[in-house]
Amino acid sequence: MQIFEVLELREFPYFLMVEVTEGETVRDVLNDYNSHKVYLLVDHDTKKILTYNGPISSLKLQIFGGILASMLRKQLRLFYRVYPLNIYSRDDLEFQEILDKPLGEGRARSIEKSDFPDPSTASTTGDLVIHNPRLKKVVETIKEYPLPENFKRIFVIIGGILYSEEDIMELFLKEEKAKREFVKMGRLNNGFTFFNDRNYSLRVIVKDRAIQGIELFIPDYEKYDSIKLKVPVIPEEKFNRPGKIDSLIESFNIPEKIPDEKLNQGRNLD
Protein backbone atom coordinates (compact mmCIF):
# COMPACT_ATOMS: atom_id res chain seq x y z
CA MET A 1 0.00 0.00 0.00
CA GLN A 2 1.25 3.46 -0.95
CA ILE A 3 -0.04 6.68 0.61
CA PHE A 4 0.21 10.18 -0.87
CA GLU A 5 -0.58 13.45 0.90
CA VAL A 6 -2.41 16.24 -0.94
CA LEU A 7 -0.72 19.62 -0.49
CA GLU A 8 -1.89 23.13 -1.36
CA LEU A 9 0.44 25.65 -3.03
CA ARG A 10 0.24 29.44 -3.26
CA GLU A 11 1.18 29.49 -6.95
CA PHE A 12 0.51 27.40 -10.06
CA PRO A 13 -0.46 24.54 -10.13
CA TYR A 14 -1.81 25.38 -6.63
CA PHE A 15 -1.73 21.75 -5.49
CA LEU A 16 0.31 18.55 -5.76
CA MET A 17 0.84 15.30 -3.87
CA VAL A 18 3.88 13.71 -2.23
CA GLU A 19 4.40 10.15 -1.04
CA VAL A 20 4.29 9.45 2.70
CA THR A 21 7.29 7.34 3.72
CA GLU A 22 6.95 7.40 7.52
CA GLY A 23 5.02 4.67 9.32
CA GLU A 24 4.64 0.93 9.01
CA THR A 25 0.88 0.58 8.47
CA VAL A 26 -1.93 2.77 7.16
CA ARG A 27 -3.06 3.27 10.77
CA ASP A 28 0.14 5.22 11.46
CA VAL A 29 -0.96 7.85 8.92
CA LEU A 30 -4.77 7.98 9.08
CA ASN A 31 -5.10 9.08 12.70
CA ASP A 32 -6.55 11.93 14.73
CA TYR A 33 -3.30 13.89 14.50
CA ASN A 34 -3.70 14.10 10.70
CA SER A 35 -7.48 14.68 10.70
CA HIS A 36 -7.00 18.00 8.83
CA LYS A 37 -5.24 16.34 5.87
CA VAL A 38 -6.31 14.64 2.63
CA TYR A 39 -4.65 11.43 1.42
CA LEU A 40 -4.70 9.16 -1.61
CA LEU A 41 -4.09 5.46 -0.94
CA VAL A 42 -2.96 3.11 -3.70
CA ASP A 43 -3.79 -0.54 -3.08
CA HIS A 44 -1.81 -2.53 -5.65
CA ASP A 45 -3.39 -5.84 -4.58
CA THR A 46 -6.94 -4.77 -5.47
CA LYS A 47 -5.98 -2.16 -8.10
CA LYS A 48 -7.78 0.61 -6.19
CA ILE A 49 -7.06 4.28 -5.54
CA LEU A 50 -8.76 5.24 -2.27
CA THR A 51 -9.45 8.88 -1.47
CA TYR A 52 -9.48 9.82 2.22
CA ASN A 53 -10.65 13.21 3.51
CA GLY A 54 -9.84 13.94 7.14
CA PRO A 55 -12.85 14.91 9.30
CA ILE A 56 -11.70 18.54 9.56
CA SER A 57 -9.93 18.87 6.20
CA SER A 58 -10.82 21.92 4.08
CA LEU A 59 -13.29 21.69 1.21
CA LYS A 60 -10.67 23.09 -1.16
CA LEU A 61 -8.17 20.40 -0.20
CA GLN A 62 -10.79 17.67 -0.73
CA ILE A 63 -11.54 18.98 -4.24
CA PHE A 64 -7.82 19.03 -5.02
CA GLY A 65 -7.63 15.42 -3.84
CA GLY A 66 -10.35 14.37 -6.26
CA ILE A 67 -8.52 16.00 -9.18
CA LEU A 68 -5.22 14.37 -8.20
CA ALA A 69 -6.94 10.97 -7.93
CA SER A 70 -7.96 11.25 -11.60
CA MET A 71 -4.43 12.27 -12.55
CA LEU A 72 -3.00 9.36 -10.57
CA ARG A 73 -5.32 6.94 -12.37
CA LYS A 74 -4.06 8.20 -15.73
CA GLN A 75 -0.51 7.80 -14.46
CA LEU A 76 -1.26 4.14 -13.70
CA ARG A 77 -2.63 3.73 -17.25
CA LEU A 78 -6.26 3.44 -16.15
CA PHE A 79 -5.74 -0.05 -14.68
CA TYR A 80 -6.86 1.27 -11.25
CA ARG A 81 -10.29 2.45 -10.13
CA VAL A 82 -10.98 5.37 -7.76
CA TYR A 83 -13.09 4.70 -4.63
CA PRO A 84 -13.96 6.95 -1.65
CA LEU A 85 -12.71 5.58 1.65
CA ASN A 86 -15.00 7.98 3.52
CA ILE A 87 -18.02 5.90 2.50
CA TYR A 88 -17.12 3.66 5.46
CA SER A 89 -17.46 4.53 9.10
CA ARG A 90 -14.21 4.26 11.04
CA ASP A 91 -15.69 1.32 12.98
CA ASP A 92 -16.58 -0.65 9.83
CA LEU A 93 -14.68 -3.88 9.24
CA GLU A 94 -13.62 -2.77 5.73
CA PHE A 95 -12.07 0.41 7.13
CA GLN A 96 -10.26 -1.46 9.90
CA GLU A 97 -8.80 -3.95 7.42
CA ILE A 98 -7.38 -1.09 5.35
CA LEU A 99 -5.88 0.53 8.46
CA ASP A 100 -3.94 -2.67 9.20
CA LYS A 101 -2.39 -2.94 5.73
CA PRO A 102 1.41 -2.45 5.61
CA LEU A 103 3.03 0.43 3.74
CA GLY A 104 5.49 -0.37 1.00
CA GLU A 105 6.89 0.56 -2.38
CA GLY A 106 4.91 0.57 -5.61
CA ARG A 107 4.74 1.83 -9.16
CA ALA A 108 2.78 5.01 -8.30
CA ARG A 109 4.81 8.21 -8.01
CA SER A 110 4.23 11.70 -6.65
CA ILE A 111 2.53 14.28 -8.86
CA GLU A 112 4.69 17.38 -9.02
CA LYS A 113 4.60 20.76 -10.74
CA SER A 114 6.19 19.36 -13.89
CA ASP A 115 3.21 16.97 -14.35
CA PHE A 116 0.80 19.85 -14.94
CA PRO A 117 0.31 21.48 -18.35
CA ASP A 118 1.41 25.05 -18.92
CA PRO A 119 -1.34 27.40 -17.58
CA SER A 120 -1.44 29.31 -20.87
CA THR A 121 -2.44 26.17 -22.80
CA ALA A 122 -4.46 24.36 -20.15
CA SER A 123 -8.17 23.91 -20.76
CA THR A 124 -10.56 25.65 -18.38
CA THR A 125 -13.36 23.13 -18.91
CA GLY A 126 -14.06 21.20 -15.72
CA ASP A 127 -15.17 17.61 -15.36
CA LEU A 128 -17.50 18.36 -12.43
CA VAL A 129 -21.11 19.16 -13.32
CA ILE A 130 -24.19 20.13 -11.34
CA HIS A 131 -27.61 19.01 -12.50
CA ASN A 132 -31.02 18.05 -11.20
CA PRO A 133 -30.87 14.27 -10.69
CA ARG A 134 -33.80 12.15 -9.68
CA LEU A 135 -34.56 12.87 -6.06
CA LYS A 136 -35.19 9.29 -4.93
CA LYS A 137 -31.87 8.00 -6.26
CA VAL A 138 -29.99 10.99 -4.87
CA VAL A 139 -31.50 10.56 -1.41
CA GLU A 140 -30.55 6.87 -1.45
CA THR A 141 -26.98 7.79 -2.45
CA ILE A 142 -26.67 10.41 0.30
CA LYS A 143 -28.04 8.06 2.96
CA GLU A 144 -25.43 5.43 2.06
CA TYR A 145 -22.75 7.63 3.61
CA PRO A 146 -22.46 7.53 7.43
CA LEU A 147 -22.93 10.80 9.28
CA PRO A 148 -19.73 12.39 10.56
CA GLU A 149 -19.08 11.75 14.25
CA ASN A 150 -20.05 14.58 16.63
CA PHE A 151 -22.00 16.43 13.91
CA LYS A 152 -25.67 16.75 13.08
CA ARG A 153 -27.11 17.47 9.63
CA ILE A 154 -29.16 20.66 9.39
CA PHE A 155 -29.76 21.18 5.68
CA VAL A 156 -29.35 19.24 2.43
CA ILE A 157 -29.27 20.96 -0.97
CA ILE A 158 -30.33 18.78 -3.92
CA GLY A 159 -30.77 20.29 -7.38
CA GLY A 160 -31.36 23.79 -6.04
CA ILE A 161 -33.94 22.62 -3.47
CA LEU A 162 -33.27 23.06 0.25
CA TYR A 163 -34.31 20.22 2.58
CA SER A 164 -34.23 19.77 6.33
CA GLU A 165 -34.45 16.56 8.36
CA GLU A 166 -37.40 15.61 10.54
CA ASP A 167 -38.59 12.56 12.45
CA ILE A 168 -41.60 11.09 10.60
CA MET A 169 -43.88 8.83 12.66
CA GLU A 170 -44.20 5.38 11.04
CA LEU A 171 -46.03 3.46 13.76
CA PHE A 172 -48.03 4.84 16.65
CA LEU A 173 -50.76 2.46 17.82
CA LYS A 174 -48.62 -0.44 19.06
CA GLU A 175 -45.39 1.43 19.68
CA GLU A 176 -43.89 4.77 18.77
CA LYS A 177 -41.57 4.31 15.78
CA ALA A 178 -40.12 7.14 13.71
CA LYS A 179 -37.53 7.53 10.96
CA ARG A 180 -35.49 10.48 9.71
CA GLU A 181 -36.67 11.85 6.36
CA PHE A 182 -35.81 14.84 4.19
CA VAL A 183 -38.51 17.52 4.22
CA LYS A 184 -38.65 20.11 1.45
CA MET A 185 -38.27 23.69 2.69
CA GLY A 186 -38.10 25.60 -0.60
CA ARG A 187 -36.11 26.40 -3.72
CA LEU A 188 -32.95 28.48 -3.57
CA ASN A 189 -33.08 31.86 -5.29
CA ASN A 190 -31.13 32.67 -8.44
CA GLY A 191 -27.73 34.18 -7.74
CA PHE A 192 -25.99 32.96 -4.59
CA THR A 193 -27.06 31.85 -1.13
CA PHE A 194 -24.75 32.73 1.76
CA PHE A 195 -25.19 30.71 4.98
CA ASN A 196 -23.70 32.86 7.70
CA ASP A 197 -25.98 32.31 10.70
CA ARG A 198 -23.79 29.64 12.35
CA ASN A 199 -20.56 27.66 12.01
CA TYR A 200 -21.42 25.19 9.23
CA SER A 201 -19.30 22.33 7.93
CA LEU A 202 -19.98 21.25 4.34
CA ARG A 203 -19.97 17.78 2.79
CA VAL A 204 -20.35 17.41 -0.99
CA ILE A 205 -21.62 14.05 -2.31
CA VAL A 206 -20.25 13.29 -5.80
CA LYS A 207 -21.12 10.30 -7.99
CA ASP A 208 -20.04 9.77 -11.60
CA ARG A 209 -18.39 13.20 -11.58
CA ALA A 210 -21.72 14.89 -10.77
CA ILE A 211 -22.62 16.64 -7.53
CA GLN A 212 -25.53 14.73 -5.99
CA GLY A 213 -26.07 16.95 -2.98
CA ILE A 214 -24.50 19.40 -0.53
CA GLU A 215 -24.97 18.79 3.19
CA LEU A 216 -24.60 21.40 5.93
CA PHE A 217 -23.59 20.16 9.38
CA ILE A 218 -23.07 21.82 12.74
CA PRO A 219 -21.21 20.41 15.78
CA ASP A 220 -23.26 18.51 18.35
CA TYR A 221 -22.33 20.97 21.10
CA GLU A 222 -24.08 23.84 19.31
CA LYS A 223 -27.71 24.39 20.25
CA TYR A 224 -30.13 24.39 17.34
CA ASP A 225 -33.74 25.48 17.70
CA SER A 226 -36.09 23.42 15.55
CA ILE A 227 -38.51 25.28 13.31
CA LYS A 228 -41.90 25.39 15.01
CA LEU A 229 -45.19 26.40 13.38
CA LYS A 230 -47.48 28.69 15.39
CA VAL A 231 -50.98 27.21 15.16
CA PRO A 232 -54.09 27.86 17.29
CA VAL A 233 -54.64 25.35 20.08
CA ILE A 234 -58.17 24.23 20.94
CA PRO A 235 -58.49 23.07 24.57
CA GLU A 236 -59.81 19.55 24.89
CA GLU A 237 -62.75 20.59 27.09
CA LYS A 238 -64.13 22.70 24.24
CA PHE A 239 -64.97 19.70 22.09
CA ASN A 240 -64.92 16.74 24.46
CA ARG A 241 -67.98 17.44 26.66
CA PRO A 242 -70.41 14.53 27.18
CA GLY A 243 -73.82 14.99 25.60
CA LYS A 244 -76.96 13.22 24.32
CA ILE A 245 -77.18 12.00 20.74
CA ASP A 246 -80.92 12.77 20.67
CA SER A 247 -80.24 16.44 21.33
CA LEU A 248 -77.78 16.53 18.44
CA ILE A 249 -80.25 14.95 16.01
CA GLU A 250 -83.07 17.22 17.17
CA SER A 251 -80.95 20.32 16.51
CA PHE A 252 -80.91 19.46 12.78
CA ASN A 253 -84.70 19.11 12.50
CA ILE A 254 -86.53 22.08 10.92
CA PRO A 255 -89.95 22.60 12.52
CA GLU A 256 -92.97 22.59 10.16
CA LYS A 257 -94.55 25.58 11.91
CA ILE A 258 -92.91 28.30 13.99
CA PRO A 259 -94.82 28.97 17.24
CA ASP A 260 -96.75 32.31 17.38
CA GLU A 261 -94.79 33.37 20.42
CA LYS A 262 -91.47 33.03 18.55
CA LEU A 263 -92.94 34.73 15.47
CA ASN A 264 -94.10 37.79 17.52
CA GLN A 265 -90.63 38.10 19.09
CA GLY A 266 -89.12 38.21 15.61
CA ARG A 267 -91.54 40.99 14.50
CA ASN A 268 -90.80 43.09 17.60
CA LEU A 269 -87.09 42.93 16.75
CA ASP A 270 -87.81 44.25 13.26
pLDDT of 32 strictly over 70: yes
Q: Kindly report the pTM of this predicted structure.
A: 0.60
Confidence (pLDDT) at 241: 60
Class of the CATH domain delimited by 2-115: alpha beta
Q: How do residues 210-236 score in pLDDT, each as one tens digit?
A: 888 999 998 888 876 544 444 444 444
Confidence (pLDDT) at 134: 75
Give the three-class secondary structure for 84: strand
pLDDT of 133 strictly over 70: no
**Mean pLDDT score, 38-62:** 91
Q: How confident is the model at residue 174 (pLDDT cuts 50, 70, 90)?
A: low
pLDDT-wise least confident of 34-38, 122-126, 161-165: 122-126
Comma-separated ranges of CATH 3.40.20.10 domains in the chain: 2-115
Q: How do residues 67-100 score in pLDDT, each as one tens digit?
A: 899 899 999 988 899 999 988 888 899 999 999 9
Dump strand ranges (E) for the chain: 2-8, 15-19, 38-43, 48-53, 81-84, 129-130, 151-158, 161-171, 177-187, 201-207, 210-219
**Mean pLDDT score, 142-151:** 87
Q: How confident is the model at residue 209 (pLDDT cuts 50, 70, 90)?
A: confident
Size of the chain in residues: 270
**Mean pLDDT score, 129-134:** 56
Average pLDDT, the chain: 79
pLDDT of 112 strictly over 60: yes
Percent of the chain with pLDDT over 70: 71
Confidence (pLDDT) at 228: 43
- How far apart CA 42 and CA 46 sit, in angstroms, is 9
Burial 172-198, CB ≥16 within 10 A → b, else e: eeeeeeeeeebeeeeeeeeeeeeeeee
Q: How do residues 229-249 score in pLDDT, each as one tens digit?
A: 444 444 445 445 666 667 666
